[in-house]
Structure 1
Protein backbone atom coordinates (compact mmCIF):
# COMPACT_ATOMS: atom_id res chain seq x y z
CA UNK A 1 0.00 0.00 0.00
CA UNK A 2 1.21 3.51 -0.85
CA UNK A 3 0.19 6.02 1.82
CA UNK A 4 1.23 8.90 -0.43
CA UNK A 5 0.78 9.39 -4.15
CA UNK A 6 3.63 8.37 -6.45
CA UNK A 7 4.15 12.05 -7.27
CA UNK A 8 4.54 12.98 -3.61
CA UNK A 9 6.88 10.07 -2.95
CA UNK A 10 9.02 11.15 -5.88
CA UNK A 11 8.98 14.74 -4.59
CA UNK A 12 10.14 13.58 -1.15
CA UNK A 13 13.01 11.63 -2.65
CA UNK A 14 14.01 14.47 -4.98
CA UNK A 15 14.11 16.94 -2.10
CA UNK A 16 16.06 14.70 0.26
CA UNK A 17 19.73 13.79 0.26
CA UNK A 18 20.77 12.03 -2.93
CA UNK A 19 21.07 8.24 -2.77
CA UNK A 20 24.77 7.24 -2.75
CA UNK A 21 25.99 5.52 -5.91
CA UNK A 22 26.93 2.32 -4.06
CA UNK A 23 23.39 2.01 -2.73
CA UNK A 24 21.99 2.61 -6.20
CA UNK A 25 24.08 -0.32 -7.41
CA UNK A 26 22.94 -2.49 -4.50
CA UNK A 27 19.32 -1.67 -5.27
CA UNK A 28 19.80 -2.66 -8.90
CA UNK A 29 21.49 -5.96 -8.05
CA UNK A 30 18.89 -6.80 -5.42
CA UNK A 31 16.08 -6.36 -7.94
CA UNK A 32 17.93 -8.48 -10.48
CA UNK A 33 19.03 -11.35 -8.27
CA UNK A 34 17.04 -11.56 -5.02
CA UNK A 35 13.44 -12.53 -4.38
CA UNK A 36 11.08 -10.02 -2.75
CA UNK A 37 13.12 -6.91 -3.62
CA UNK A 38 10.34 -4.78 -2.11
CA UNK A 39 11.91 -5.68 1.25
CA UNK A 40 14.76 -3.33 0.38
CA UNK A 41 14.83 -0.21 2.56
CA UNK A 42 15.02 2.14 -0.43
CA UNK A 43 16.25 5.67 -1.07
CA UNK A 44 13.99 7.83 1.10
CA UNK A 45 13.82 5.62 4.18
CA UNK A 46 17.51 4.89 3.80
CA UNK A 47 18.29 8.61 4.02
CA UNK A 48 16.08 8.83 7.11
CA UNK A 49 18.05 6.00 8.75
CA UNK A 50 21.31 7.63 7.76
CA UNK A 51 20.36 11.02 9.21
CA UNK A 52 19.04 9.51 12.45
CA UNK A 53 22.28 7.61 12.87
CA UNK A 54 24.32 10.74 12.19
CA UNK A 55 22.31 12.64 14.81
CA UNK A 56 22.81 9.88 17.39
CA UNK A 57 26.45 9.18 16.45
CA UNK A 58 26.29 5.67 17.91
CA UNK A 59 29.32 3.68 18.90
CA UNK A 60 27.43 0.40 18.71
CA UNK A 61 24.57 -0.40 16.33
CA UNK A 62 22.54 -3.61 16.22
CA UNK A 63 20.46 -4.51 13.18
CA UNK A 64 18.04 -7.43 13.21
CA UNK A 65 17.37 -8.36 9.58
CA UNK A 66 20.16 -7.64 7.11
CA UNK A 67 18.56 -8.70 3.81
CA UNK A 68 21.05 -7.49 1.17
CA UNK A 69 22.69 -4.92 3.43
CA UNK A 70 21.13 -1.62 2.30
CA UNK A 71 19.89 -0.46 5.69
CA UNK A 72 23.12 -1.53 7.40
CA UNK A 73 25.10 0.68 5.05
CA UNK A 74 22.75 3.59 5.74
CA UNK A 75 23.01 3.18 9.50
CA UNK A 76 26.80 2.78 9.34
CA UNK A 77 27.09 6.30 7.92
CA UNK A 78 26.53 7.71 11.41
CA UNK A 79 28.91 5.46 13.34
CA UNK A 80 31.46 7.11 15.58
CA UNK A 81 35.07 6.71 14.37
CA UNK A 82 35.65 3.70 16.62
CA UNK A 83 32.14 2.32 16.17
CA UNK A 84 30.81 -1.10 15.20
CA UNK A 85 27.63 -2.32 13.53
CA UNK A 86 26.42 -5.87 14.19
CA UNK A 87 23.82 -7.16 11.76
CA UNK A 88 21.95 -10.46 12.00
CA UNK A 89 20.10 -12.46 9.35
CA UNK A 90 18.89 -16.05 9.09
CA UNK A 91 19.62 -16.30 5.35
CA UNK A 92 23.19 -17.47 4.85
CA UNK A 93 22.75 -17.31 1.07
CA UNK A 94 22.89 -13.50 1.15
CA UNK A 95 26.08 -13.33 3.22
CA UNK A 96 28.52 -12.98 0.32
CA UNK A 97 26.42 -10.34 -1.43
CA UNK A 98 26.21 -8.32 1.78
CA UNK A 99 29.94 -8.62 2.35
CA UNK A 100 30.77 -7.48 -1.16
CA UNK A 101 28.94 -4.21 -0.67
CA UNK A 102 30.09 -3.74 2.91
CA UNK A 103 33.70 -4.07 1.79
CA UNK A 104 33.18 -1.62 -1.06
CA UNK A 105 31.92 0.98 1.42
CA UNK A 106 33.90 3.11 3.84
CA UNK A 107 32.59 1.02 6.74
CA UNK A 108 33.53 -2.53 5.78
CA UNK A 109 35.81 -3.18 8.74
CA UNK A 110 33.17 -1.80 11.12
CA UNK A 111 30.32 -4.07 9.98
CA UNK A 112 30.11 -7.52 11.57
CA UNK A 113 27.76 -10.11 10.09
CA UNK A 114 26.00 -12.81 12.10
CA UNK A 115 24.00 -15.64 10.55
CA UNK A 116 21.30 -17.39 12.54
CA UNK A 117 18.41 -16.72 14.89
CA UNK A 118 18.71 -13.26 16.44
CA UNK A 119 17.11 -14.52 19.64
CA UNK A 120 20.04 -16.91 20.08
CA UNK A 121 22.76 -14.51 18.92
CA UNK A 122 21.86 -11.29 20.77
CA UNK A 123 22.29 -12.65 24.33
CA UNK A 124 25.83 -13.74 23.38
CA UNK A 125 26.84 -10.20 22.32
CA UNK A 126 28.55 -8.53 25.26
CA UNK A 127 27.69 -5.05 24.01
CA UNK A 128 25.44 -2.18 25.08
CA UNK A 129 23.92 -0.72 21.92
CA UNK A 130 23.23 2.95 21.23
CA UNK A 131 21.02 2.29 18.20
CA UNK A 132 18.96 -0.78 17.32
CA UNK A 133 17.02 -1.41 14.10
CA UNK A 134 14.41 -4.18 14.16
CA UNK A 135 13.39 -5.32 10.68
CA UNK A 136 13.09 -9.11 10.60
CA UNK A 137 10.34 -11.68 11.31
CA UNK A 138 7.32 -9.63 12.33
CA UNK A 139 5.84 -12.35 14.55
CA UNK A 140 8.99 -12.18 16.67
CA UNK A 141 8.99 -8.40 17.19
CA UNK A 142 7.93 -8.63 20.83
CA UNK A 143 10.59 -11.26 21.52
CA UNK A 144 13.21 -9.13 19.76
CA UNK A 145 12.26 -6.16 21.93
CA UNK A 146 12.52 -8.12 25.16
CA UNK A 147 15.86 -9.55 24.05
CA UNK A 148 17.43 -6.22 23.10
CA UNK A 149 16.23 -4.12 26.05
CA UNK A 150 18.86 -5.60 28.42
CA UNK A 151 21.46 -4.54 25.83
CA UNK A 152 20.47 -0.85 26.01
CA UNK A 153 21.06 2.12 28.30
CA UNK A 154 19.18 5.39 28.90
CA UNK A 155 19.27 7.30 25.64
CA UNK A 156 19.53 4.24 23.41
CA UNK A 157 17.20 4.38 20.40
CA UNK A 158 15.21 1.43 19.05
CA UNK A 159 13.79 1.67 15.53
CA UNK A 160 11.05 -0.74 14.44
CA UNK A 161 10.17 -1.11 10.76
CA UNK A 162 6.97 -2.11 8.92
CA UNK A 163 4.76 -1.28 11.89
CA UNK A 164 1.87 -0.07 9.70
CA UNK A 165 1.89 -3.33 7.75
CA UNK A 166 0.47 -1.92 4.51
CA UNK A 167 -2.30 -0.19 6.45
CA UNK A 168 -3.71 -3.44 7.86
CA UNK A 169 -3.32 -2.07 11.40
CA UNK A 170 -6.36 0.18 10.85
CA UNK A 171 -8.47 -2.32 8.91
CA UNK A 172 -10.92 -4.84 10.41
CA UNK A 173 -8.77 -7.64 11.80
CA UNK A 174 -9.01 -11.03 10.14
CA UNK A 175 -8.77 -13.60 12.94
CA UNK A 176 -6.52 -15.70 10.71
CA UNK A 177 -4.07 -12.81 10.24
CA UNK A 178 -1.63 -13.52 13.04
CA UNK A 179 1.03 -11.07 11.82
CA UNK A 180 -1.22 -8.01 11.94
CA UNK A 181 -2.41 -8.98 15.43
CA UNK A 182 1.21 -9.27 16.59
CA UNK A 183 2.01 -5.82 15.18
CA UNK A 184 -1.08 -4.27 16.76
CA UNK A 185 -0.02 -5.64 20.15
CA UNK A 186 3.59 -4.60 19.55
CA UNK A 187 2.69 -1.02 18.62
CA UNK A 188 0.51 -0.75 21.73
CA UNK A 189 3.29 -2.17 23.89
CA UNK A 190 5.87 0.29 22.56
CA UNK A 191 3.56 3.22 23.19
CA UNK A 192 2.69 2.14 26.73
CA UNK A 193 6.07 0.72 27.77
CA UNK A 194 7.28 2.39 31.00
CA UNK A 195 10.91 2.34 29.85
CA UNK A 196 10.32 3.89 26.42
CA UNK A 197 9.35 7.19 24.83
CA UNK A 198 7.81 6.32 21.47
CA UNK A 199 6.58 8.00 18.31
CA UNK A 200 5.28 6.18 15.23
CA UNK A 201 6.16 7.86 11.95
CA UNK A 202 4.29 7.27 8.64
CA UNK A 203 7.53 6.71 6.74
CA UNK A 204 7.15 4.10 4.01
CA UNK A 205 5.46 1.14 5.78
CA UNK A 206 5.72 2.72 9.22
CA UNK A 207 8.83 3.38 11.32
CA UNK A 208 8.67 3.63 15.11
CA UNK A 209 11.28 5.53 17.10
CA UNK A 210 11.58 4.52 20.74
CA UNK A 211 14.03 6.07 23.19
CA UNK A 212 15.06 4.22 26.32
CA UNK A 213 14.43 6.33 29.43
Structure 2
Protein backbone atom coordinates (compact mmCIF):
# COMPACT_ATOMS: atom_id res chain seq x y z
CA UNK A 1 0.00 0.00 0.00
CA UNK A 2 2.84 2.39 0.88
CA UNK A 3 4.58 1.54 -2.39
CA UNK A 4 1.39 2.16 -4.36
CA UNK A 5 0.90 5.59 -2.76
CA UNK A 6 4.56 6.46 -3.39
CA UNK A 7 4.08 5.54 -7.03
CA UNK A 8 0.88 7.59 -7.33
CA UNK A 9 2.55 10.61 -5.74
CA UNK A 10 5.62 10.27 -7.98
CA UNK A 11 3.50 10.22 -11.14
CA UNK A 12 0.56 12.52 -10.37
CA UNK A 13 2.06 15.05 -7.91
CA UNK A 14 4.29 17.62 -9.55
CA UNK A 15 5.06 19.68 -6.47
CA UNK A 16 3.14 22.53 -4.87
CA UNK A 17 5.14 25.21 -3.07
CA UNK A 18 2.16 26.52 -1.10
CA UNK A 19 1.09 23.12 0.19
CA UNK A 20 4.68 22.30 1.07
CA UNK A 21 4.79 25.53 3.10
CA UNK A 22 1.66 24.35 4.92
CA UNK A 23 3.33 21.05 5.80
CA UNK A 24 6.38 22.97 7.06
CA UNK A 25 4.22 25.30 9.18
CA UNK A 26 2.51 22.31 10.79
CA UNK A 27 5.87 20.84 11.81
CA UNK A 28 7.16 24.21 13.01
CA UNK A 29 4.16 24.57 15.31
CA UNK A 30 4.66 21.13 16.85
CA UNK A 31 1.43 19.76 15.37
CA UNK A 32 1.04 16.13 14.25
CA UNK A 33 1.98 15.41 10.63
CA UNK A 34 -1.34 13.85 9.71
CA UNK A 35 -2.50 15.98 6.78
CA UNK A 36 -3.95 14.21 3.76
CA UNK A 37 -1.37 12.93 1.29
CA UNK A 38 -0.84 14.67 -2.07
CA UNK A 39 -2.55 11.70 -3.73
CA UNK A 40 -5.61 12.38 -1.54
CA UNK A 41 -5.58 16.17 -1.74
CA UNK A 42 -5.78 16.35 -5.52
CA UNK A 43 -8.96 14.22 -5.73
CA UNK A 44 -10.59 16.49 -3.11
CA UNK A 45 -10.02 19.50 -5.37
CA UNK A 46 -11.31 17.61 -8.40
CA UNK A 47 -14.40 16.26 -6.64
CA UNK A 48 -15.44 19.70 -5.38
CA UNK A 49 -14.86 21.15 -8.84
CA UNK A 50 -16.63 18.38 -10.76
CA UNK A 51 -19.62 18.38 -8.40
CA UNK A 52 -19.99 22.16 -8.58
CA UNK A 53 -20.17 22.35 -4.78
CA UNK A 54 -20.22 25.87 -3.33
CA UNK A 55 -20.95 25.21 0.37
CA UNK A 56 -18.32 22.87 1.82
CA UNK A 57 -18.10 21.57 5.38
CA UNK A 58 -14.82 20.17 6.68
CA UNK A 59 -14.59 18.23 9.95
CA UNK A 60 -10.97 18.44 11.09
CA UNK A 61 -8.87 21.42 9.92
CA UNK A 62 -5.39 20.77 11.39
CA UNK A 63 -3.11 23.24 9.54
CA UNK A 64 -5.26 23.92 6.51
CA UNK A 65 -3.80 21.50 3.94
CA UNK A 66 -7.09 19.78 3.14
CA UNK A 67 -8.92 23.10 3.46
CA UNK A 68 -6.82 24.58 0.66
CA UNK A 69 -7.41 21.51 -1.49
CA UNK A 70 -11.17 21.82 -0.95
CA UNK A 71 -11.27 25.59 -1.53
CA UNK A 72 -9.30 25.29 -4.76
CA UNK A 73 -12.18 23.19 -6.05
CA UNK A 74 -14.72 26.01 -5.75
CA UNK A 75 -12.38 28.89 -6.57
CA UNK A 76 -13.82 32.36 -5.93
CA UNK A 77 -17.45 31.29 -5.76
CA UNK A 78 -17.71 29.05 -2.68
CA UNK A 79 -17.47 29.00 1.10
CA UNK A 80 -15.68 26.60 3.42
CA UNK A 81 -16.89 26.01 6.96
CA UNK A 82 -14.25 24.17 8.97
CA UNK A 83 -14.68 22.51 12.36
CA UNK A 84 -11.58 22.14 14.54
CA UNK A 85 -11.20 21.12 18.16
CA UNK A 86 -8.02 23.11 18.85
CA UNK A 87 -8.12 26.91 18.58
CA UNK A 88 -4.41 27.17 17.74
CA UNK A 89 -4.83 24.66 14.92
CA UNK A 90 -7.73 26.67 13.51
CA UNK A 91 -5.66 29.85 13.75
CA UNK A 92 -2.82 28.33 11.73
CA UNK A 93 -5.26 26.84 9.23
CA UNK A 94 -6.91 30.23 8.69
CA UNK A 95 -3.52 31.85 8.20
CA UNK A 96 -2.61 29.28 5.57
CA UNK A 97 -5.98 29.61 3.80
CA UNK A 98 -5.43 33.38 3.72
CA UNK A 99 -2.03 32.87 2.06
CA UNK A 100 -3.81 30.73 -0.52
CA UNK A 101 -6.23 33.59 -1.27
CA UNK A 102 -9.29 32.27 0.58
CA UNK A 103 -9.28 34.54 3.65
CA UNK A 104 -12.86 35.76 3.10
CA UNK A 105 -14.19 32.38 2.00
CA UNK A 106 -13.50 30.31 5.10
CA UNK A 107 -14.90 30.33 8.63
CA UNK A 108 -13.86 28.24 11.62
CA UNK A 109 -15.87 26.80 14.47
CA UNK A 110 -13.69 25.57 17.33
CA UNK A 111 -14.47 23.07 20.05
CA UNK A 112 -16.06 19.62 19.94
CA UNK A 113 -17.24 18.93 16.38
CA UNK A 114 -20.45 17.24 17.50
CA UNK A 115 -21.47 20.42 19.34
CA UNK A 116 -20.68 22.54 16.27
CA UNK A 117 -22.65 20.15 14.06
CA UNK A 118 -25.62 20.36 16.40
CA UNK A 119 -25.45 24.15 16.20
CA UNK A 120 -25.33 24.07 12.40
CA UNK A 121 -28.31 21.71 12.32
CA UNK A 122 -30.23 24.02 14.66
CA UNK A 123 -29.55 26.90 12.27
CA UNK A 124 -30.83 24.81 9.32
CA UNK A 125 -27.52 25.15 7.49
CA UNK A 126 -27.08 23.13 4.31
CA UNK A 127 -23.97 21.98 2.48
CA UNK A 128 -23.31 20.23 -0.81
CA UNK A 129 -19.90 18.74 0.02
CA UNK A 130 -18.44 17.28 3.23
CA UNK A 131 -14.98 16.09 4.18
CA UNK A 132 -14.52 14.04 7.37
CA UNK A 133 -10.97 13.74 8.73
CA UNK A 134 -11.10 13.97 12.51
CA UNK A 135 -11.33 11.60 15.50
CA UNK A 136 -12.22 8.22 14.06
CA UNK A 137 -14.40 7.04 16.96
CA UNK A 138 -17.01 9.64 16.02
CA UNK A 139 -17.07 9.03 12.26
CA UNK A 140 -20.46 7.32 12.38
CA UNK A 141 -21.94 10.26 14.30
CA UNK A 142 -20.33 12.76 11.94
CA UNK A 143 -21.80 10.88 9.01
CA UNK A 144 -25.34 11.10 10.38
CA UNK A 145 -24.97 14.84 10.92
CA UNK A 146 -23.60 15.28 7.40
CA UNK A 147 -26.65 13.51 5.99
CA UNK A 148 -28.89 15.76 8.09
CA UNK A 149 -27.08 18.87 6.82
CA UNK A 150 -26.86 17.72 3.21
CA UNK A 151 -28.47 19.17 0.14
CA UNK A 152 -29.94 16.43 -2.08
CA UNK A 153 -27.13 14.89 -4.12
CA UNK A 154 -24.39 16.18 -1.80
CA UNK A 155 -21.07 14.31 -1.61
CA UNK A 156 -19.52 13.06 1.62
CA UNK A 157 -15.83 12.06 1.63
CA UNK A 158 -14.20 10.39 4.65
CA UNK A 159 -10.45 9.81 5.04
CA UNK A 160 -8.36 7.05 6.68
CA UNK A 161 -11.01 4.37 6.17
CA UNK A 162 -8.41 1.64 5.47
CA UNK A 163 -6.56 2.30 8.76
CA UNK A 164 -3.16 1.68 7.13
CA UNK A 165 -4.53 -1.53 5.61
CA UNK A 166 -5.44 -3.06 8.98
CA UNK A 167 -9.16 -3.27 8.10
CA UNK A 168 -8.34 -6.07 5.65
CA UNK A 169 -4.87 -7.49 6.43
CA UNK A 170 -4.64 -9.52 9.67
CA UNK A 171 -0.84 -9.36 9.53
CA UNK A 172 -0.90 -5.58 9.99
CA UNK A 173 -0.98 -4.44 13.60
CA UNK A 174 -4.46 -2.96 14.18
CA UNK A 175 -4.76 0.76 14.84
CA UNK A 176 -6.82 1.97 17.77
CA UNK A 177 -9.48 2.96 15.25
CA UNK A 178 -9.40 -0.14 13.02
CA UNK A 179 -12.69 -1.56 14.30
CA UNK A 180 -14.32 1.86 14.11
CA UNK A 181 -13.31 2.12 10.46
CA UNK A 182 -14.66 -1.34 9.69
CA UNK A 183 -17.99 -0.35 11.24
CA UNK A 184 -18.01 2.97 9.41
CA UNK A 185 -17.30 1.38 6.04
CA UNK A 186 -20.18 -1.05 6.51
CA UNK A 187 -22.40 1.82 7.56
CA UNK A 188 -21.64 3.87 4.44
CA UNK A 189 -22.20 0.86 2.20
CA UNK A 190 -25.57 -0.11 3.65
CA UNK A 191 -27.01 3.26 4.66
CA UNK A 192 -30.40 3.72 2.94
CA UNK A 193 -29.69 7.40 2.20
CA UNK A 194 -26.31 6.84 0.54
CA UNK A 195 -24.66 5.49 -2.58
CA UNK A 196 -21.06 4.74 -1.64
CA UNK A 197 -17.72 3.50 -2.93
CA UNK A 198 -14.33 3.06 -1.27
CA UNK A 199 -11.35 4.53 -3.11
CA UNK A 200 -7.94 3.02 -2.17
CA UNK A 201 -6.16 6.38 -2.35
CA UNK A 202 -3.84 7.49 0.43
CA UNK A 203 -5.11 5.73 3.55
CA UNK A 204 -8.43 5.01 1.86
CA UNK A 205 -11.37 7.33 1.23
CA UNK A 206 -15.06 6.58 1.08
CA UNK A 207 -17.07 8.65 -1.37
CA UNK A 208 -20.80 8.77 -0.64
CA UNK A 209 -23.58 10.53 -2.50
CA UNK A 210 -26.70 11.52 -0.57
CA UNK A 211 -29.70 10.24 -2.50
CA UNK A 212 -32.16 12.82 -3.79
Structures share a fold, TM > 0.5? yes
Query: Matches of 1:200 and 1:177 in 2, distance apart?
Result: 19
1:53 equivalent to 2:51? Answer: no
| Residues 89 and 116, structure 1, Cα contact 8 Å, conserved in 2 | yes
1:118 to 110, 113, 119: 113
Q: Indicate how the Cα distance of structure 1 residues 177 and 67 shifts in structure 2: closer, same or farther if over 3 A, else same.
A: closer
| Residues 199 and 208, structure 1, Cα contact 8 Å, conserved in 2 | yes
| Residues 163 and 175, structure 2, Cα contact 8 Å, conserved in 1 | no
1:34 equivalent to 2:30? Answer: yes
Moved over 4 A (4+): none
Query: Matches of 1:17 and 1:129 in 2, distance apart?
Result: 29
Q: Is the partner of 1:209 in helix, strand or coil?
A: strand
Alignment coverage as a number of residue pairs: 207
Cα drift, residue 54 of structure 1: 1.2
Which one is further off, 63-72 or 27-36? Answer: 27-36
Cα drift, residue 18 of structure 1: 3.2
| Residues 56 and 78, structure 1, Cα contact 8 Å, conserved in 2 | no
Query: Matches of 2:208 and 2:128 in 1, distance apart?
Result: 12
Query: Matches of 1:87 and 1:104 in 2, distance apart?
Result: 17
1:15 equivalent to 2:8? Answer: no
Unaligned runs of 5+ in 2: none
| Residues 37 and 202, structure 2, Cα contact 8 Å, conserved in 1 | no
Q: Is the partner of 1:155 in helix, strand or coil?
A: strand
| Residues 62 and 84, structure 2, Cα contact 8 Å, conserved in 1 | yes
Query: Matches of 1:4 and 1:98 in 2, distance apart?
Result: 27
* 1:141-161 deviation per Cα after TM superposition (whole angstroms, max 9, x unaligned): 011111121111221000010
2:156 to 155, 158, 182: 158
Q: Is the partner of 1:149 in helix, strand or coil?
A: helix
RMSD of aligned alpha carbons:
2.1
